Structure 1
Amino acid sequence: MKSYQKLTTPQPAGCQVEEEGAAPMPPARGRMAPWWVGSGLLVAAVLLSTITVWVLRQVSGGWLGPTPPPKCLLVPESHRFDCYPERQVVVTQELCESRGCCFIQSPLPAEGKQGVPWCFYPPDFPSYTLESLNQTALGMVGLLVRREKAYYPRDIEMLRLDVEFETDTRLHIKITDAANPRYEVPLDVPRAKKRAENPIYSLNFSWDPFGVLLRRTATGTVLLNTTVAPLIFADQFLQISTSLPSRFLYGLGEHRGSLLHSLDWNTLTLWARDVAPTESFNLYGAHPFYLLMEEGGDAHGVFLLNSNAMEVALQPAPALTWRTIGGVLDFYVFLGPDPNMVIQQYQQVIGFPAMPPLWALGFHLCRWGYGSSNGTWQTVRAMRNYQIPQDAQWNDIDYMDGYRDFTFDSQKFASLPSLVEDLHKHGQRYVMILDPGISSTNPHGSYWPFDEGLRRGLFLNTTQGQPLIGKVWPGYTAFADFSNPDTHQWWLENLQHFHAHVPFDGLWIDMNEPSNFMDGSEDGCPPGELDSPPYTPAVLGDSLSSKTVCASAKQKASVHYNLHNLYGLMEAKATASALTQIRGKRPFIISRSTFPSQGRYSGHWLGDNRSQWKDMYYSIPGLLSFSLFGIPLVGADICGFSSSTSEELCTRWMQLGAFYPFARNHNTQNEKAQDPTVFSPAARTAMKDVLLTRYSLLPFLYTLFHHAHLQGDTVARPLFFEFPQDVATLELDRQFLWGRSLLVTPVLEPGVDSVTGYVPQGTWYDFYTGSSVNSSGEMLKMSAPLEHLNLHIREGSILPTQKPGTTSEETRGNPLRLIVALSSSATAWGDLFWDDGESLDTFERGSYSYLVFNVTQNIFTSTVLHASTEATSVTIGTLSIFGVQKQPSKVLLNGQEKPFSYLDNQVLTVSDLGISLSQGFSVQWL
Structure 2
Amino acid sequence: MTAMKLTVRVVLMMFVILGVVTLYVSYTAYYSSTLKVKQPVTYRTPFRDIKITAVHPKPPEKACHSVETQLKFDCHPENFPTKEMCEYRGCCWIATPARKKPISSPDPLDSQAPVDVPYCFYPGNYSAYRVINTEKVFTGTEVLLKRDSPSYYPKDIQYLNVNFNYETPTRLRIKIYDSVANRYEVPIVLDPARQPPHDPAYRIHIQNDTFHFKVIRKADGKHNETVLMDTSLGAMIFSDQFLQISSLLPSHNIYGLGQHRSHLNLNTSWSRFTMWNRDHFPIEEDANLYGSHPFYLVMEDSGLSHGVFLLNSNAMDVILQPTPAITWRTIGGVLDFYILLGPTPIEVVQQYTQLVSRSFMPPYWSLGYHQCRWGYNTTSRTLDVVHRLRKAGIPQDVQWNDMDYANNYMDFTYDPEKFGDLPAMVTQLHSEGLHYIMIVDAAISTAHTKGSYPAYDLAIEKDILVKDGFGKQPIKGKVWPNETVWPDWSHPDATDYWTHVVSLFYDKVKFDGMWIDMNEPSNLGNNDSVTLCDFNSTLENPPYLPAVANYTLRFMTLCATAHQSLGRRDKGLDLPGLHYDLHNLYGLMMAQASYKALERSRELRPFVISRSTYAGHGQYGGHWTGDNSATWHDLRMSIPAILNGNMYGISMIGADICGFHSDTTPELCQRWMQLGAFYPFSRNHNEQGTIDQDPASLGPGVAASSRRALLIRYKLLPYLYWLFYRSHVYGDPVVRPLFFKYPQDQITYRIDSQFMWGDALLISPVLTQDTTHVNAYFPRDTWYCLYSGKRRDSLGEYYNLAAPLDIINLHVRAGHVIPQQEPSLTTTESRKNPFKLLVTLDEFSHSSGELYWDDGESLNTHDRKLYTLIRFKTLKNKIYSRVDMLGYKDDLLKLEQMTVFGMAQKPKQVKVKSNLHDDFYYDDSHNVLYVNKMNITLYEAFVVTWTFTEIKDLS
Give yes or no for the alignment of 1:511 onto 2:518. Answer: yes
Equivalent pairs, count: 859
Q: Is the 8 A contact 2:268 2:321 kept in 1?
A: yes
Matched, 1:414 2:415: no
The 3-state SS of whatever aligns with 1:580 is: helix
SS where residue 626 of structure 1 aligns? helix
Deviations along 1:416-470, one digit per CA (max 9) or x if unpaired, are 1111001111111100000111112237984332232123211111122111111
How far apart are 1:857 and its partner, in Å? 1.6
Give yes or no for the alignment of 1:672 onto 2:691: yes
**1:94 equivalent in structure 2:** 84
- Superposition deviation, residue 67 in structure 1: 12
1:158 aligns with 2:159: yes
Q: What are the ranges of 5 or more consecutive residues in structure 2 without an aligned counterpart?
A: 1-57, 106-113, 567-576, 948-955
How far is the alpha carbon of 1:520 from its aligned partner?
A: 3.1
Q: Residues of 2 paired with 1:443 and 1:394: CA distance?
A: 29
**Which residue of structure 1 lines up, in the alignment, with residue 249 of structure 2?**
244
| Counterpart contact for 2:755–2:762, Cα < 8 Å | yes
Q: Secondary structure of the residue that 1:343 maps to in structure 2? A: helix
Give yes or no for the alignment of 1:391 onto 2:401: no
Q: Which moved more, 1:555-564 or 1:523-532?
A: 523-532
- What pairs with 1:118-129 in structure 2 (closer than 5 Å)? 118-129=119-130
Match of 2:115 in 1: 114
* Worse overlay, 131-140 or 879-888: 131-140
Question: Shift of residue 523 of structure 1?
Answer: 3.6
Q: What is the rounded CA distance, in whole Å, between the counterparts of 1:658 and 1:156 in structure 2? A: 52
Question: How far apart are 1:895 and its partner, in Å?
Answer: 1.6
| 1:104 and 2:110 matched | no
Pairing 1:765–2:784 present:
yes
In 1, Cα distance between the equivalents of 2:522 and 2:923?
A: 58
Residues 871 and 916 of structure 1 are in contact (CA less than 8 Å); yes or no, is this contact kept in structure 2? Answer: no
Do the aligned residues in 2 keep the contact of 1:152 with 1:534 (CA within 8 Å)?
A: yes
CA deviation after TM superposition for structure 1 residue 827, in Å = 0.6
Report deviation, 1:849. Answer: 0.4
Instruction: Report whether the alignment pairs 1:644 with 2:663.
Output: yes
Indicate if the aligned counterparts of 1:836 and 1:870 stay in contact, CA closer than 8 A.
no
What residue number does 1:474 align with?
481
Instruction: Indicate whether 1:346 and 2:355 are aligned.
Output: no
Q: How many Å apart are 1:791 and its aligned residue?
A: 0.3
Q: Check whether the contact 1:373–1:412 (CA below 8 A) recurs between aligned residues.
A: no
Mapped pair 1:839 → 2:858: yes
Q: Which moved more, 1:279-288 or 1:136-145?
A: 136-145
Contact 1:717 1:737 in 2 (8 A): yes
Conservation of the 8 A alpha-carbon contact between 2:818 and 2:837: yes
Distance in 2 separating the partners of 1:328 and 1:869: 47
Please list, as runs of the form range in 1=range in 2, the aligned pairs for 1:214-225 lying within 5 A after superposition: 214-218=215-219, 219-225=224-230
Per mean C-alpha deviation after superposition, the further-off stretch among 551-560 and 385-394 is 385-394
Equivalence for 1:275: 280
Write the mapping of 1:625-664 to structure 2, written as runs, cut at 5 A.
625-664=644-683
Asked if 2 retains the 8 angstrom alpha-carbon contact of 1:432 and 1:507, the reply is: yes
Q: Deviations 1:118-173 (Å, cap 9, x if unpaired)?
A: 11111111111121111222112110111111111111010011111111111011
Report the Cα offset of residue 822 of structure 1: 0.6
- Residue from 54, 70, 73 that aligns with 1:81: 73
Distance (Å, rounded) in 2 between the aligned partners of 1:575 and 1:728: 42
Matched residue type, 2:502: L
Inter-partner Cα distance in structure 1 for 2:820 and 2:655 = 25
Q: Name the aligned partner's letter for residue 730 of structure 2.
A: Q
**Alpha-carbon distance, 1:95 to partner:** 1.1
Tell me, in whole angstroms, the C-alpha distance in 2 between the residues paired with 1:759 and 1:138: 45
Code of the residue aligned with 1:801 in structure 2: it is: Q
- Aligned CA RMSD, in angstroms, stands at 1.3
TM (norm. structure 2) is 0.89
How far off is 1:872 after superposition? 2.8
Task: Find the partner of 1:496 among 488, 496, 503.
Answer: 503
Listed as ranges, the gaps of 5+ residues in structure 1 are 1-65
Q: Percent identity?
A: 46
Partner of 1:56: none
Letter in 2 for 1:566: L
Which of the numbers 912, 923, 928 marks the counterpart of 1:903? 923
SS in 2 for 1:667: coil
Pick one of 845, 852, 855 that aligns with 1:826.
845
Equivalent runs, 1:22-41 vs 2, <5 Å? none
Query: Any conservation in 1 of the 2:469–2:533 contact (CA below 8 Å)?
Result: no
* Distance (whole Å) between structure 1 residues aligned to residue 531 and residue 901 of structure 2: 68
State the partner residue of 1:539: 548
Structure 1 distance, partners of 2:622, 2:247, is: 32
Number of the residue aligned with 1:11: none
Distance in 1 between the 2:414 and 2:134 partners? 62
- Is the 2:407–2:415 Cα contact (8 Å) retained in structure 1? yes
Q: 1:106, CA displacement in angstroms? A: 2.6
Task: Measure the CA separation in 1 of the matches of 2:95 and 2:59.
Answer: 11
- Output the amino acid matched with 1:403: Y
TM-superposed deviation, 1:258: 0.2
Q: Which moved more, 1:886-895 or 1:514-523?
A: 514-523
Matched ranges for 1:445-484 at <5 A: 446-464=452-470, 465-484=472-491
Cα contact 1:849–1:871 (8 A) shared by 2? no
Q: Is the 8 A contact 2:59 2:90 kept in 1?
A: no
Amino acid at match of 2:613: T
**1:332-731 map, 5 Å:** 332-442=338-448, 446-464=452-470, 465-521=472-528, 522-526=530-534, 527-557=536-566, 558-731=577-750
Q: SS of 1:367's equivalent?
A: coil
1:71 and 2:71 are equivalent in the alignment? no
Deviation digits for residues 360-390 of structure 1, max 9, x if unmatched? Answer: 1100000000111111011111112222110
CA distance in 2, matches of 1:68, 1:136: 41
In structure 2, relative to structure 1, the CA distance for the partners of 1:222 and 1:264 (3 Å cut) is same
> Structure 2: which amino acid aligns with 1:642?
H
Residues 243, 320 of structure 1: 8 Å contact kept: yes
Distance between the aligned counterparts of 1:261 and 1:823, measured in 2?
A: 34
Compared CA separation, residues 653 and 68, structure 1 to 2 (3 A): farther
Say whether the 8 Å CA contact 1:404–1:474 is kept in structure 2: yes
Q: CA deviation at 1:68?
A: 7.5
For 2:452 and 2:931, locate their aligned partners in 1 and report how far apart those are by CA, in whole Å: 67
Q: 246-255 or 517-526: which moved more?
A: 517-526
Amino acid at match of 1:467: P
**Separation (CA, whole Å) in 2 of partners of 1:396 and 1:446:** 23
Say whether residues 1:227 and 2:236 are aligned partners: no
What residue is the counterpart of 1:885 in the other structure?
A: 904
Q: Give yes or no for contact 2:853–2:888 (8 Å, CA) kept in 1.
A: no
TM-score calculated relative to the size of structure 1:
0.92
Letter in 2 for 1:147: D
Q: Report deviation, 1:734.
A: 0.2
Q: Which has the larger radius of gyration?
A: 2
- Which has the higher mean CA deviation after the structures are superposed, 101-110 or 171-180? 101-110
Q: Measure the CA separation in 2 of the matches of 1:381 and 1:894.
A: 44
| 1:123-272 aligned within 5 A | 123-218=124-219, 219-272=224-277
Q: Cα–Cα, structure 1 residues 168 and 67, in superposed 2: closer, same or farther, change >3 Å?
A: closer
**Which one-letter code corresponds to 1:216 in the other structure?**
R
Give, in angstroms, the shift of residue 489 of structure 1: 1.3
In structure 2, the residue corresponding to 1:454 is in which secondary structure? helix
Which deviates more, 668-677 or 866-875? 866-875
Amino acid at match of 2:201: I
Look up the equivalent residue of 2:100 and give its one-letter code.
P
Q: Is the 8 A contact 2:818 2:838 kept in 1?
A: yes
